Chains A and B, each alone.
Chain A
């Protein structure tokens, strides 16, 4: 048997996913420092063609400029922070709420379970985006914190359901009874005995959640409800670029690829973590 740390570092999914996530995290941390230009400065003289179209990749603008003559590379580097922050913070919130609600609900059952699960049903019965738009509107000004709070407060429902169903299955197993016979408190059994057995699907769901929130943030930005312009975020970049998708498809594909790679990174990492955390693998 090797130590969990060795197994973690040897797992191919963890290596690839971890590398991708690390790169994105570094970009988010240092992007603004290494960005070659000001991401919101418009260069009307050199950044646009004579027709007013964005210029393609060249020596001056490695990834070209967008419709307003801003440097795409700089915007990409700076935008990483928003996307990653929203993805991580929103998923963190929904993970915390979802695991707690699912654990309590599945463990205690009864009226607590009924209330929690009906609340989940109510939230899920609304179209997700519509609810987001409504909630974002509750706050006076759109901003980063509004986006991840709303996404986090709406995203925990699936997590809670998954955790609850796993807890319902686990609580009937004899090791739980053994823990009770040992004299452990309910809380201890829930968190120390049951939770580790529930964590597998939670890990996967959480990484998928990061991916989904990064996308949701881009949708909100696209609708003008995300981070207000001109602050760059990957989602907003796609939204702004779509008017030019025939002439300059890179305006969509470059930030799109970044989202894709980030999402892929988190998914691989999540699957790897699940495998490593399972002693049977």
Chain B
């Protein structure tokens, strides 16, 4: 992207979030869901990092924990130079201006009792960016226009809009505070494909205009292909691979990434390709497998995999793989033959 690398706007180090599980009459803690279990990655300014993985892998929790919408258990999250988990209540409230979120559900994410002007302008008044309600309204109008809606809609209520329009309103709300970093939590997953494309393009335009960076949490690999600069692949609360988009799609090195990518639909139905089908189900995050979490389903798994958690090996610039056999995975492996679910 940019010729000269800027310092990362967002740095995540060993972020952990476990949800306790209580049981019985006395609500004794019997275990915990290891939703996010030590993840680290950076986001450069002006960059979009896509976080992918299947349902329940902890990607949404990771996004929420970074913003402290869920309190993380440990780890560091540096956003624009400050470590978010260290901030006290007031400082955090203040710093929220730098980091915003766009939600998946355009219906429940807008307060049905507030006008669009109030929804977009509320944060401006709260953070003292504008002083009067009239100024907030004016700014809301500009923002509405910027996201492709009529400025006069400020006096309307959310129920008067379609899903795509609502999502634009949610985007306007997020960029209103002029943040440095936005978490897009499945931001286009609830939209029609045609609307998806428009919203994605809007996000990309806004990114350049407002000098933003995104963490794009999604399960939709076709969206990733379109929007991401870097891709982080998660499995059971851990990052198994991260690399630039080009590398991930051209040279996936973790067996899970390879399986995941082979499951993505392609546009050409005649093009035959190898389909990697993983045996079994995702294990429970309450009791994740020891060692490499993927070993129960991995075609390459050996004795070492169930004993030792693989470190993130750097195999190229910006390409890290958490697999003991990273040297052997240059060719996508075909496990179809040994799969219990043959095609």
Q: Chain A residues in contact with chain B, CB under 8 A?
A: 1, 173-175, 177-185, 193, 196-197, 279-280
Other 9 A-B pairs with CB < 8 A, given A173-B108, A183-B97, A183-B127: A174-B105, A175-B110, A178-B109, A178-B173, A179-B122, A181-B99, A181-B100, A196-B111, A280-B159
In-complex Cβ contact of A183 among B94, B110, B113, B156 (8 A): B94
Considering the complex, which residues of chain B in the window 75-120 have a beta carbon less than 8 Å from any beta carbon of chain A? Answer: 92-94, 96-97, 99-101, 103-105, 108-114
B156 touches A181 (CB 8 A): no
Chain A residues positioned under 8 Å from B96 (CB to CB): 181-183
| Given A180-B69, A183-B127, A174-B109 contact (CB < 8 Å) | yes
B159 nearest in chain A by CB position: A280
With contacts A183-B126, A197-B113, A279-B113 known, is A177 near B159, CB below 8 A? no
**Is A181 within 8 A of B67, CB to CB?**
yes
Q: Which residues of A contact B127 (CB under 8 A)?
A: 183
Alpha-carbon distance A28/B310, docked complex (angstroms): 81
Closest residue on chain A to residue B158 by CB atoms: A279
B229 → chain A closest CB, angstroms: 24
Q: Does chain A have a CB within 8 A of B155?
A: yes
Nearest B-chain residue to A279, judged by Cβ: B157
List chain A residues, Cβ under 8 A from B170.
Answer: 178
B123 within 8 A of A: yes
| A184, B94: Cα distance in complex, Å | 10
29 A-B contact pairs sorted by A residue (CB < 8 Å): A173-B108, A173-B109, A174-B103, A174-B108, A174-B109, A177-B69, A177-B109, A178-B101, A178-B110, A181-B67, A181-B96, A181-B99, A181-B100, A181-B101, A182-B122, A182-B177, A183-B92, A183-B93, A183-B94, A183-B123, A183-B127, A184-B93, A184-B126, A196-B111, A196-B114, A197-B111, A279-B112, A280-B157, A280-B159
B177 and chain A: residue at smallest CB distance? A182
Dominant SS among interface residues on chain A:
helix
Residues 133-157 of chain B, each 1 if its beta carbon lies under 8 Å from chain A, else 0: 0000000000000000000000111
Q: How far is the CA of A180 from the CA of B68 in the complex (A)?
A: 10
Chain A-chain B contacts (Cβ-Cβ < 8 Å), number: 67
Q: Which residue of A lies closest to B103 (CB)?
A: A174
Cβ contacts under 8 Å, B104 to chain A: 174
Is there contact, CB below 8 Å, between A193 and B111? yes
- For the complex of A and B, list the 6 residue pairs with the smallest distance between their C-beta atoms, beginning with the closest: A183-B96, A174-B109, A279-B157, A196-B113, A183-B93, A175-B111
Contact status of A185 and B93, CB under 8 A, knowing A1-B156, A178-B109, A279-B112:
yes
CB contacts (< 8 Å) of B177 on chain A: these are 182
A279 contact set on B, CB distance < 8 A: 112-113, 157, 159
- In Å, the complex CA distance between A270 and B94 comes to 40
Report how far A168 CA is from B57 CA in the complex, Å. Answer: 27
Interfacial chain A residues near B110, Cβ < 8 Å = 175, 178
Say how far B8's CB is from chain A's closest CB, in angstroms. Answer: 21
CA distance A78 to B142 in the complex (A): 59
- The CA of A178 and the CA of B118, in the complex, are separated in Å by 13
Query: When A178-B101, A181-B96 are in contact, do A280 and B155 touch as well, CB less than 8 Å?
Result: no
CA distance A147 to B332 in the complex (A): 81
A32 to chain B, nearest CB (A): 42
Residues of B within 8 A of A177 (CB): 69, 101, 103, 109
Rounded to whole Å, the gap between the CB of A4 and the closest CB of chain B is: 11
Interface centre among A178, A183, A193 (most CB of B within 10 A): A178
A256 to chain B minimum Cβ distance, whole angstroms, is 39
| Whole-angstrom CA separation of A280 from B92 in the bound complex | 35
B308 to chain A, nearest CB (A): 38
A175 touches B126 (CB 8 A): no
Inter-chain contacts of A1 with B (CB < 8 A): 155-156
Q: Please pick, from A181, A184, A196, the residue contacting B69 in the complex, using a CB distance under 8 A.
A: A181
Q: Which residues of A contact B156 (CB under 8 A)?
A: 1
CB distance from B153 to the nearest CB of A (A): 11
Are the CB atoms of B108 and A175 closer together than 8 Å? Answer: yes
Least distance between A154 CB and chain B CB atoms (Å): 31
Q: Enumerate chain A residues within 8 angstroms of B159, measured Cβ to Cβ.
A: 279-280
C-alpha gap A171/B100 in the complex (Å):
19
Collect the chain A residues with CB atoms within 8 Å of residue B69's CB: 177, 180-181
A89–B255 alpha-carbon span in the complex (Å) = 70
Complex Cα gap A181–B69 (Å): 7
Residue of B nearest to A198 (CB): B113
Q: Which residues of A contact B100 (CB under 8 A)?
A: 181-182
Residues of A within 8 A of B155 (CB): 1
